Amino acid sequence: MTDQRDVVTLVGSLRRGSYNAAIARSLPALAPEGMRIAALGSVGEFPLYNADIQDAGFPSAATAMGEAIAKADGVIIITPEYNYSIPGALKNAIDWLSRLPSQPFAGKPVALQSASTGLLGGARAQYHLRQSLVFLDAFVLNKPEVMVGQVATKVDATSGELKDQATRDFIAGQLRAFSAFIGKHGTPASP
């Protein structure tokens, strides 16, 4: 019997037709046996980080997402690259989550995926994201790295589905590796 892995996804784009969101939607069907994948809320629900707002009480988007991450066995972040780094909305959400009294990324297995219309598939953004996750003490899967270049040719424009089979197979391989990684490095998620 395979252990159950409950994994949540966080998307760095707010765009309705986001390619990264399309990849996130493809994940449940690509997950290995025993891995359940559910979407977290939108990073667009967070106000801009301001310690004065925090002093008056954390926004509900931050506490709700923090609780969902704490309960999960792992997190997959799927993000575009903006100007060689991560989108401000994603960084803002991470900044809020990082200030929660029980910081939910500490010791949490995390896998990264990025997609871009350019050739490099958001590689540079992933390395900036890894840097923040070091400070948050997350356990980030090293390889395989999922960086989907020229993503506009790989997502069906009408259905919004990730249709490129080689990309689907590669992502499925990362999810299998992530399942094994959670088995080795994950601590039991909080109830």
Shortest CB 34 distance to ligand FMN, Å:
28
Nearest to 40 by CA among 73, 85, 76, 14: 76
Rounded to whole angstroms, what are the CA distances from 52 to 46, 55, 56, 80, 136? 14, 5, 6, 29, 22
Minimum CB distance to ligand FMN smaller for 149 or for 173:
149
Binding-site ranges for ligand FMN (CB under 6 A): 13, 15, 18-20, 80-84, 116-118, 120, 122
Minimum CB distance to ligand FMN smaller for 12 or for 186:
12
Cβ burial of 172 (10 Å; 0-12, 13-18, 19+) is middle
Minimum CB distance to ligand FMN smaller for 25 or for 108:
25
Shortest CB 188 distance to ligand FMN, Å:
33
Bridge partners of 9, per DSSP, are 39, 76
Shortest CB 162 distance to ligand FMN, Å:
12
- Going by the DSSP 8-state scheme, the letter that residue 181 receives in this structure is H
Minimum CB distance to ligand FMN smaller for 126 or for 179:
126
Judge contact between 62 and 100, C-beta under 8 A: yes
Shortest CB 74 distance to ligand FMN, Å:
21
